Amino acid sequence: MREADFQKSVIEAAYLYGWLVFHPRPAQTGGRWSTPYTGHAGFPDLVLAHSEKGVLFVELKNERGRTTPGQRQWLNVLEDAGSETYLWRPQDWKDICARLEGN
């Protein structure tokens, strides 16, 4: 499964269970695609927020995708600070739906 398709499925499930979703999308600037940001590279793909179920920081990868050092650093620092972080892959679908549902 392509990561983009997996991401779309996760976002649709998050909406279904009432989560607010934030995902920075790439934009074309100067003839090339990039995701503009200021700061450290590797921020998680999704921030999901729910008034009763919490705030999640989620990095998404396909079956073979690898995290970058920056992505690992962000997830580690966020988790050390008390945030709920995840690295989700398509094979985690059952657990993903359970977490989004609130179980």
| Each residue's pLDDT tens digit, 29-58 | 777 776 666 788 899 999 999 999 999 999
pTM given for the model: 0.89
Contact yes or no for 17/103 (Cβ under 8 A): no
Name all domains of the chain by residue range, CATH numbers in brackets. 3-25+41-101 (3.40.1350.10)
Q: For residues 54 and 83, give the distance between their C-alpha atoms in angstroms, rounded to a whole number.
A: 9
- The pLDDT, as a whole number, for residue 90 is 97
Q: Quote the mean pLDDT of the chain.
A: 92
Average pLDDT of span 55-68: 96
